[in-house]
Amino acid sequence: MEENIKETVKQMLTEYLQKNGHRKTPERYAILDMIYTIKGHFDIDTLYHSMEDEGQFRVSRATLYNTIILLLDANLVIRHQFGNSSQYERAYKNETHHHMICTECGKVTELEDENLKKAIVETKLKKFTASHYSLYIYGVCSKCTWAKRRKKTNNIKSK
């Protein structure tokens, strides 16, 4: 099943490259394969090291940046922008999910909610053709809620 997805996205890349007059380089396929091996989010640096360590295929960071742009355009990867650096994740056969981001510790938790998904998809947009979306809910995770409460109590005590 997983292998099936990899084969499919490989074909999608081939089609995309052909249609747009780009070359089918081994680097591009190796990067795509690695991305569809990683589960969840990753940034360029993580991808760079994964390629070398697990993927046994060395590519430069420049090539990673170039290739990611192609893959974004081919709808094979999506980009997120929480934290300092861009985060990416595979786009094909990856259920759309929402993100809860803790403003205290930066932890990102994924969230599935059918009603919410439905509401967003059904929203009518003017002069715009939507392809995908990202919902980020900011707040404080349970762990940090307790940490914050402790801190506040201490502040009061020390006064």
Partner DNA sequence: GTCAGTGCAAACTTTTTGCAACTAC
Partner DNA sequence: GTAGTTGCAAAAAGTTTGCACTGAC
Selected from 50, 63, 94, 96, the binder of DNA by CB under 7 A is 63
**Residue 28 interacting partner from DNA, a second copy, none (CB closer than 5 to 8 Å by kind):** DNA
CA trace torsion 155, 156, 157, 159 (10° rounding): 90
Q: What does 47 bind: a second copy, DNA, none (CB cut-off 5 to 8 Å by kind)?
A: none
Under rule CB under 7 A, residue 66 binds DNA = yes
C-beta of 126: minimal distance to DNA in Å? 29
Which is closer to a second copy, CB of 38 or CB of 135?
135
Task: Note the residues at the interface with a second copy (CB under 8 A).
Answer: 72, 78, 81-82, 100, 102-103, 109, 111, 113, 115-116, 119-120, 123, 125, 127-142, 145
| 17 in contact with DNA (CB under 7 A) | yes
Please give the distance of CA 46 from its chain centroid, rounded to a whole number: 12
Q: Which residues of 101-117 are buried (b: 16+ CB within 10 A; e: fewer)?
A: bbeeeeebeeeeeeeeb
DSSP class of residue 76 equals S
The footprint of DNA on residues 72-111 (CB under 7 A) is: 84-86
> Which entry of a second copy, DNA, none binds 27, CB below 5 to 8 A by partner kind?
DNA
Residue 13 vs 141, nearer CB to DNA: 13
Closest CA to 80 of 103, 62, 98, 63: 98
Query: Residues 27, 89, 100, 144: which binds DNA (CB under 7 A)?
Result: 27
